[in-house]
Amino acid sequence: MSDLHELLYELKKREDFEIRVNVQPAIKLPAGLNKKLIYEISEAKNEPAWMTEHRLKSFEIFEKWHEPDWGVSREELDLSKIVPYVKPNAKKTTTWEEVPEEIKQAFDKLGIPEAERKYLAGVGAQFDSEMIYKNIKEELKKLGVIFTDIETAVREYSDLVKEHFMKLVPPTDNKYAALHGALWSGGTFLYVPKGVKVPLPLQSYFLFGNPGGGQFEHTVIIADEGSEVTYIEGCTAPRYDVVNLHVGTVEVYVKKGAKMKYLTMQNWSKNMFNLEIKRAIAEDDAVMTWVSGSFGSYKTMVYPATILKGNNSVSENISISFAGPGQHIDTGSKVIHIGKNTRSTVDARSISIGGGWSFYRGLLKIMESAKGSKASVSCTGLMIDNKSKSDTVPIIEVYNTDSDVGHEAKIGRIKDEQIFYLMSRGLSESEAKGLIVKGFIQPVVQELPFEYAIELNRLVDMEIESSIG
């Protein structure tokens, strides 16, 4: 193929994948951070007084807090230029027919309505700062499952929300948690009653359509005693010439004997600062599983955390992060063992390609009370080429002698013999590399519903092709 053909092919591929939505928002607050703006957000949402108070208090904390002195450099992130709230010109609805055509087309392109029909128990769709669509199967509603946007939950399930909202991730946690507490908008509230086992996954998808905007969605999930549920979170945005910011927060409460699986497929555009906070607390015999795929964004800092508070509780953390050209992906996991006989496993895999930098940062803490606990952490870095960088920095703190803790890490490349073998079978170099990478990410892929696994493999092909050229 000539260079020109290659360029056209590349542009076409991006066009196929890029989602652009050109709709005028109903409200777009000016860039900047101040109390007046917080009042305006609160008023636009018709919030109860306690939530307005919460926002103002968080803002005070934000103003006093220093920047975290670790992670990716955030010099290019000027918070005063971020547009904190963009309300789309669309009312909240439970039918896709009522979603404005252009927004619906974007979600169609992402395959969300089709996925809902085929294999999801419920779907939420957020555009910019608000959820515009939320629906759940009638059978689950009858069983008492609540799946709604967080604003509705604040009004309709006030006590339940008040008990859990920013209790696991308080605004005092760090500067960005405080920022989130002040500006949060959109997100999901999911409550699964005692003993209810949701047979199909629920999903929320976050789409971003405004240059310079910030998205601050908040997710609260309560899996009550003995329940089981899988939740999928997906996100994407078109690329703009200015910095966008995502500071989502997720709080998951896994009650006694419950099982919760939280899957994330992050594919933000390459101008996004993705600074997320995800935390779960597991009670006795509960199981919390995080499955994370980080593909997009310019810079990412996200470390899904599980607090194993209950005896015999379990945490699993499976992740794959992909750092392509110009990307700095700082991800990891945190597990804190408090209860007796708690168990945790971390399987973190990263791929660096085209000059990207992937950085694993983890914390495993075994408290004195966590007698008889077992934990293992495995980090593997795959460097596809010689321009990229792969680092792993796990912190392991063991405060009792009755626990077994193991950690191992390896960083390496795809061996020439592997490529040669596959090329001798007729594959091109990029196909061969793609196949090996797909094998490498298999532990994540196998956790996904079938259609998502196909999508993830397609994404890997695209990233490999565009990085190798």
Partner 1 sequence: MNTTKIEKTLRLEHQNLRGIVPQRKTIDTEDYKVDDFKPSGNNLLDEWRIRRLSEYLTYKFPMWKRTGLKSLSLPNVLPYKGLEALDIDGLNLLETLDFEGTDRKFVLLADVFSSSGEYIVVENDTTIVVNDVSQFDNTLIDIRNGELNFVRIVENPFFIGNLRIKVRRNAKLNLYNLYLGTSKDDLLISNVFIDVENDSKTIVKDFYFGGKINVGYFGMRVNAENAYADIRPYYLGNEKTVIDILYLMRFYKPNSYGNVDAKGVLTDEAKVVFRGIMDILSGAKEAEAHQSNHATLISLKAKVEAIPSLMVDENDVVASHAASSAPIDENMVFYLMSRGIPKEDAQKMIVRGVFETLKDELKRYNLEGVVEHALDSVLG
Give the interface with partner 1 as residue ranges (CB under 8 A).
Answer: 68-75, 326, 328, 330, 355, 357, 359, 368, 381, 383-413
Q: In angstroms, rounded to a whole number, what is the distance separating the alpha carbons of residues 323 and 217?
A: 24
Joined tokens for residue 59: 């803002």
- Residues 178, 298: Cα–Cα separation, whole Å: 22
| Strand segments (E) across 79-119 | 86-87
What is the nearest approach in angstroms of partner 1 to the Cβ of residue 400?
7
Placement of tokens 């050209």 in the chain: 325
Closer to partner 1 by Cβ: residue 46 or 70: 70
- Burial class of residue 36 (count of CB atoms within 10 Å of its CB; 0-12, 13-18, 19+): exposed
CB of 401 to partner 1, least distance (A): 4
Nearer to partner 1, 115 or 375 (CB): 375
Q: How far is the CB of 305 from partner 1 (least distance, A)?
A: 18
How far apart are the C-alpha atoms of 233 and 456, rounded to whole Å? 14
Please state the closest distance from residue 364 (CB atom) to partner 1, in A: 9
DSSP 154: H
Nearer to partner 1, 172 or 378 (CB): 378
- Nearer of residues 170 and 326 to partner 1, judged by Cβ: 326
Q: How far is Cα 107 from Cα 207, in angstroms, rounded to an integer?
A: 8
Q: Which two tokens stand for residue 336?
A: 């804190």
Look up residue 189 and give its amino acid: F
Q: Which residue number, 326 or 439, has a Cβ lying nearer to partner 1? A: 326
User: Could you give the angle at the alpha carbon of 447 between the alpha carbons of 443 and 452, nearest 5°?
Assistant: 110
Helix (H, G, I), strand (E, B) or coil at 65: coil
Asked whether 306 and 335 are in contact (CB, 8 A), the reply is yes
Smallest distance from the beta carbon of 447 to partner 1, in angstroms? 26
CB of 416 to partner 1, least distance (A): 9
Comparing CB distances to partner 1, the nearer of 163 and 408 is: 408
**What is the nearest approach in angstroms of partner 1 to the Cβ of residue 351?**
11
What phi and psi, each to the nearest 5 degrees, are found at residue 295?
A: -115, -40
Q: Which is nearer to partner 1, 233 or 463 (CB)?
A: 463
Distance of CA 226 to the CA centre of its chain: 25
Give 83 or 348: the residue with its C-beta nearer to partner 1.
Answer: 348
Q: How far is the CB of 428 from partner 1 (least distance, A)?
A: 20
Nearer to partner 1, 1 or 70 (CB): 70
- Residue 173's Cα: distance from chain center in Å? 18
The rounded distance, in Å, linking the Cα atoms of 345 and 341 is: 13
The minimum distance between CB 9 and partner 1, in angstroms, equals 26
Cα–Cα distance, 160 to 137 (Å, whole number): 22
DSSP annotation of 257: T
Per the listing, tokens 């509705």 go with: 152
- CB contact burial 220-238 (16+ within 10 A = b; e otherwise): bbbbbbbbbbbbbbbbbbb
- The dihedral of CA 221, 285, 171, 52: what is its sign? positive
Least distance in angstroms from the C-beta of 61 to partner 1: 19
**Closer residue to partner 1, CB minimum distance, 405 or 453:** 405
